[in-house]
Amino acid sequence: MNGAAFRSEEVVVGQEPFLLQGTLTVPVGTGPFPGVVLVQGSGPHDRDERIGPNTPFKDVAEGLSTCGIAVLRYDKRTFRYKDRFAGGISIDEEVVLDAVSAMGVLKTNRAVDATRVFVAGHSLGALLAPEIAHRSAPVAGAVLLAPPGRPMWQLIPAQLRYLGVPAEQIALIEKEAEPLKSGTASSGTFLGVPMAYWKDLDSRDGVGMARKLQRPILIMQGERDYQVTEEDLATWRRGLAQVDGVDVVTVPGSNHLFIHGEGKSGPAEYSVPGHVDARVIEKLCSFFLSARE
């Protein structure tokens, strides 16, 4: 990326006692600029959404700021304060509250056009992006990068089958998930996480929220993504088929991190250094620069 095309400044997101450090990249030139908040997937991610040697959110932020868009990314609460959530956490606490706060921080920055502020989420963040947009209204639009379209009790066993996990192990996980599937979960855990968390996640209707948003929406899916697949994308296509202003784009060769590769995708690929596909950055730039509040 051309570092001379933007500057970076440190910002603070969230409320006491969960203040979060973040980075705002701002294009060099005369603003105000369109702005976007990046929201990570599940897990205790830092602001760059670092996975192994890869930093997809840093790639996206610096790529977008090079083409004229201000970008705010921040450390997740579960990254900065991971020791405080041993007893469980809600979806609001993990993702939504801090994302809404970040949208507010972005809107009040003098370099940003508050009428052209977007939310862009990846994976879990993509599922929740329409809700974050609603709770941050008014917004100019939303981007959903690899949004899940199936409940986790269905998605996780599918991932394990893809990875060749023995059938008996998958059967045990599916048995553990049965209370979620039947809607009878009241206590216990699934994959070591309290059932209350999974029930909260199951209650979030990303497609329904997107249907109500009435703002431009861009959905992107990597064609080599084994974690969130075409089956998930089909849920969004069906749910938003009658909604205006929705653009669905698949990226040949891209994995779940939107990094290009060849052959069958798998976890080992995330340990290989790479960068977000330039085609993804170009499409995002086009969307943010053309959409209007």
What is the set of active-site residues?
123, 225, 256
Taking the mean position of all CA atoms in its chain, how far away is CA 156?
A: 17
CA distance 209 to 203: 12
Selection from 163, 177, 103 nearest residue 138 by Cα:
103
Cβ atoms within 10 Å, residue 70? 27
For 82-93, b/e burial (b = at least 16 CB within 10 A) is eeeeeeebebbb
Identity (one letter) of the amino acid at 145?
Answer: L
